[in-house]
A = this chain, B = another copy of it.
Amino acid sequence: MKSIPENQIIRADSIEFMRSMPEESVDMVFADPPYNLQLAGELYRPNNSRVAGVDDAWDQFDDFDAYDRLTRDWLAAARRVLKPNGTLWVIGSYHNIFRVGTALQNIGFWILNDVVWVKSNPMPNFKGRRFTNAHETLIWCAKSQKSKYTFNYEAMKALNDDLQMRSDWTLPLCTGEERIKGADGKKAHPTQKPESLLYRTIVAATDPGDLILDPFSGSGTTSAVAKKLGRRYIGIDQDAGYVKLARKRLAEIPEASDAEAIQHTRPKRKEPRVPFGTLVENGLLAPGTMLTSPCRRHTAKVRADGTIISADHKGSIHQVGAAVQGAPSCNGWTYWQVASDARKAVPLDVLRQKFRTEAAL
């Protein structure tokens, strides 16, 4: 039995390498496996620029069966090297995450949470044919139902302004300075994850000194954050280019000192935006309700999609408000009123405030 090569990025076949490792030696696994995107043709933005899709060979599979076989194999190998109280994280999208989740349940992993990474700046849906794909899903699971896993509840609560950390995490994509570029100035890895995401998973589920394994190391984000947080790490990747990239990245990170362990993102809270349509959806205002202007000079009817329609105009509450007044702009929230009972009308803004209060309960 070999000793474990710690704090390294290793070029190898992940499954083979994990099988060569001593069993029950790892505290946490973070895995970002291929998503099996199945992209067909090319995609262009409305300005005719081409979207750089993930068409790498490592994301190509003949069918679901082929993908499922790979999934079962790496999950089984990872489970073997995991300590009895260890946990595993996997990230994916709707293309693959259901298959991964099913496979890990079948193998005996015990799901603790699914967590959604809500992207604050996702790529839009350019053709307007679906909802903007604005999130990815992480599954957090223990080796077995009886695992006494690590969960740093207080640390998570502290990270979240003293409120329990929830299963939805709003974080930005990895862009700008943080995104590693190649010699050509283009992104060096197609799917580099933000450090903030790894930061939260590692702080939540490990203690300093724990050993973290990433079988799909890629640009090395998991190992980089592990090193910054004083955890031990092993990154494995098949691709020699990515291994070289990650080794360079890791070499530039100084050994963890206390001061550095507390930087990074804090979630910012702000009053949630409430689209007018939300009031309609939530029944505070039924489709067909009549709105009136302050002096009762104009009226408009609420439609099911949150637009309103007056005698001559239709559109948002702001657009129609501006149009009926012949004004360049209008705050529909304060302009339009709705009769709460026979006598008195209240501005829409009152309903919005009511909704915010109720939703927060």
Contacts and interface: CB of A to CB of B under 8 A. Distances in A.
Interface of A: 44, 48, 64, 93-95, 97-102, 105-106, 111-116, 118, 120-122, 124-125, 128-135, 137, 139-140, 151-156, 158-162, 164-168, 170-172, 175-176, 178, 194-196, 199-200, 203-204, 228-229, 258, 260-265, 272-273, 275-278, 280-283, 286-288, 301-307, 309, 314, 316, 325, 327-329, 358-361
A287 B273 contact: no
Given A132-B164, A178-B283, A302 B261 contact: yes
Contacts of A113: 94, 130-131, 133
Given A121-B359, A122-B166, A301 B261 contact: yes
Contact of A273 (B99, B161, B261): B161
Contacts of A196: 278, 281-283
B281 A261 contact: no
Can you list the 5 inter-chain pairs with the closest CB atoms, starting with the nearest?
Answer: A98-B101, A159-B277, A261-B288, A155-B305, A134-B166
A361 B272 contact: no
A103 to B, nearest CB: 9
Contacts of A282: 171-172, 194-196
25 contacts: A48-B329, A94-B114, A95-B111, A98-B99, A115-B131, A121-B361, A131-B140, A133-B167, A135-B166, A135-B168, A155-B304, A171-B281, A175-B361, A176-B358, A196-B281, A196-B282, A228-B287, A258-B288, A260-B303, A261-B287, A261-B288, A262-B287, A263-B303, A263-B304, A265-B305
The number of times this chain is found in the oligomer is 2
Contact of A278 (B159, B168, B276): B159
Nearest to A149: B129
A168 B168 contact: yes
Given A159-B275, A301-B261, A99 B94 contact: no
Contacts of A151: 129-130
Contacts of A129: 151, 153
B130 A112 contact: yes
Nearest to A230: B304
A144 to B, nearest CB: 13
Given A263-B303, A288-B258, A301-B261, A132 B281 contact: no
A205 to B, nearest CB: 10
Contacts of A200: 281
A132 B167 contact: yes
Contacts of A260: 288, 301, 303, 309
Given A113-B133, A159-B280, A161-B273, 20 more contacts: A44-B329, A48-B327, A94-B101, A99-B105, A125-B164, A135-B168, A159-B278, A159-B281, A161-B276, A172-B358, A172-B361, A196-B281, A196-B282, A199-B281, A200-B281, A203-B304, A229-B304, A258-B287, A260-B309, A261-B304
